Amino acid sequence: MAGSKPNQMHLKYESQIREPLVDGNKDYHQITEDIIRPIEAKPSKLWYIGFSISVALLLFGVYSVYRDVTYGIGQWNLNKTIGWGWDITNFVWWVGIGHAGTLISAILLLFRQGWRTGVNRAAEAMTIFAVMCAGQFPIFHMGRVWLAFFIFPYGNTRGPVWVNFDSPLLWDVFAISTYFTVSLLFWYSGLIPDLATVRDRAKTKFRKFFYGTLSFGWTGSTKHWQRHEALSLVLAGLATPLVLSVHTIVSFDFATSVIPGWHTTIFPPYFVAGAIFSGFAMVQTLLIVVRKVLNLQEYITLGHIEAMNKVIVLTGSIVGCAYLTELFMAWYSQNEYEAYAFFYSRANIFSPYGWAYWGMMFCNVVSPQVFWFRKLRRNVVFTFFMSVIVNIGMWFERFVIIVTSIYRDYLPSSWSYYYSPTIWEIGFYLGTFGLFFTCFFLFAKYFPTIAVAEIKYVLKTSGENYKERMDKVEEQKVEEFAHDYAH
């Protein structure tokens, strides 16, 4: 009860059953060394190769977009009735990926999941880059991109040309821009103490200036930490509903309509689950590479990878439950249009896009079930492979939802021909990969990929060497333990 004075030793206790979150014989200084050193060293050859490929992809994307703007989006293969194709598929896919970071920083913080400290920084960075990529698609989909500012409601002289507040597309503008802002603030405010550490270790004038500016004069005083913690809490509180709201509103883009296959009430939570699913898969893809290249296996341990695989099997199963619910209701509702969308256009493997539906089912529902097995959850190579499979599956989910619902309208005369993208649609998509990885490579080179301060925070409860010293506490009788703690 309140008023007791906890014993220091007991405050740092954690069950021996839990795996350490930091392996090896670490102290505070060693942690700083391990994580900051790659920033101070020259980039490796591998980094240059990866970075160059990313920039090349980005340039191809820029050229594709340049053509889109110059010649119009008629150079895409969108047609009647497929008004949304690869562009909106890619938009939803990237927004979905951008969910894991904030989930890890905000919701897992609330759930007090200590393992988040190893992966939150990189996941948050990934979130920001993914949302940046996502935003491109609806903007260029508008066609006359120079009028994109029309989406903002502000006093203007355009007379009756005004935003439609009843449209979920407008809600998207608010949801995504808010999400982006809060995620960015969260990520950056977390970076400040670490950037100050980099500044303090800097040897050149330029580095001192660069990291000094970015760290806003952080001195690590108690006052600074106090404010920092208060800010983190407020941002976590703000970010938690945002994790749900963004994909909820993306799902409204579809579900508020009366299009068969789009209009269904389960869409909001099911989209959120799918977004977290794909977000975690992308975190795995990136971090499995990062931990190897930057030698961070002691901070991003097999335990971390296993925990994320558990989230993947959980969210994959939730998504599976939603798929089957939809399929069931298409029959149960006895609505012939729903039945056509689900049983003819999707579940029928011989229909034009049947392969995409079953590909999605396999990648998102069947394949993650292998993660019920501990051995596979802790297999790094296998996890990497699976994370790619999941992201392919989640791309197909959006493709299936969008295209199979609209390629055949009510009248056979409004049935479109088979939709496949042009090189410029593909180029645009590849370009966002370029943007994403270019940003990520720069981030991994110039910023600490792991939250140094937060790892130090969990070291004394969950570091391998500290846990070894807890044997005595572990053997203590419960009554004694509680007595010691209370006095």
Partner 1 sequence: MASNREQFEVSGNMKTWSIGLMGVGILAFIIGFITKGLSSDEHQQAIFWGTLLYNSIFFLLICNASMFFICVTTLAHGGWQVTFRRVPEAISAVVPIFGLIAIFILFFIVFGLNHGDHNLIYHWRIPGNDQIILKKTGFLNPPFFVIWTLLSIGLWSYLGMRMRKLSQESDETSMNPEQGNRWIVRNTVIAALFTVWFGLTVGSTTPWLWLMSIDTHWYSTMYSWYTFASSFVTGMALIALFVIYLKNKGYLEYTNDEHLHDIGKFMFAFSIFWTYLWFSQYMLIWYSNQPEETTYFQPRTKEGVWKGVYYLNLVINFLCPLLILMTKNSKRNYTVMAFMAVLIIFGHWMDFNQMVMASISRDHVTLGWLDFGIAALYVGMLIFFVGKALAKVPLIPKNHPFLKESIIHHT
Site residues, partner 1 (CB under 8 A): 1-2, 6, 10-11, 13-18, 110-112, 241, 244, 248, 252, 255-258, 263-269, 310, 317-318, 321-322, 324-326, 328-329, 332-335, 372, 473-474, 476, 478, 481-482, 485
**Amino acid at site 318:** I
* Nearer CB in complex with partner 1: 75/113: 113
If the CB atoms of residues 255 and 363 are measured against partner 1, the closer one turns out to be 255
> At closest approach, how far in Å is the CB of 316 from partner 1?
12
Structure tokens at 236: 């976590």
**Shortest spacing between CB 205 and partner 1, in angstroms:** 44
Comparing CB distances to partner 1, the nearer of 12 and 224 is: 12
CA proximity to 233, closest of 92, 109, 71, 377: 109
Toward partner 1, which CB reaches closer, 23 or 200?
A: 23
Minimum Å distance from CB 16 to partner 1? 4
Structure tokens at 483: 């007595």
Min dist CB 326 to partner 1, Å, is 6
Q: How far is the CB of 417 from partner 1 (least distance, A)?
A: 29
Least distance to partner 1, CB of residue 339, Å: 10
Q: Which is nearer to partner 1, 402 or 444 (CB)?
A: 402
Which CB sits closer to partner 1, 197 or 317?
Answer: 317
**Under 8 Å between Cβ of 451 and 3:** no
Nearer to partner 1, 11 or 56 (CB): 11
- Give 10 or 208: the residue with its C-beta nearer to partner 1: 10
What span, in angstroms and rounded, lies between the C-alpha atoms of 90 and 357?
17
Min dist CB 408 to partner 1, Å, is: 20
Tokens of 134: 């996502």
Q: How far, in Å, are 163, 215, 339 from residue 234 at the CA level?
A: 31, 20, 46
Count of residues in the chain: 487
The smaller minimum CB distance to partner 1, of residues 125 and 470, is found at: 470
Distance in Å, CB of 336 to partner 1, minimum:
11
Cα-to-chain-centroid distance, residue 295: 23
CB 260 → partner 1: shortest distance, Å?
11
Token digits of residue 239: 């970010």
Q: What is the 3-state secondary structure (H, E, C) of 133-167?
A: HHHHHHHHHCCCHHHHHHHCCCCCCCCCCCCCCCC
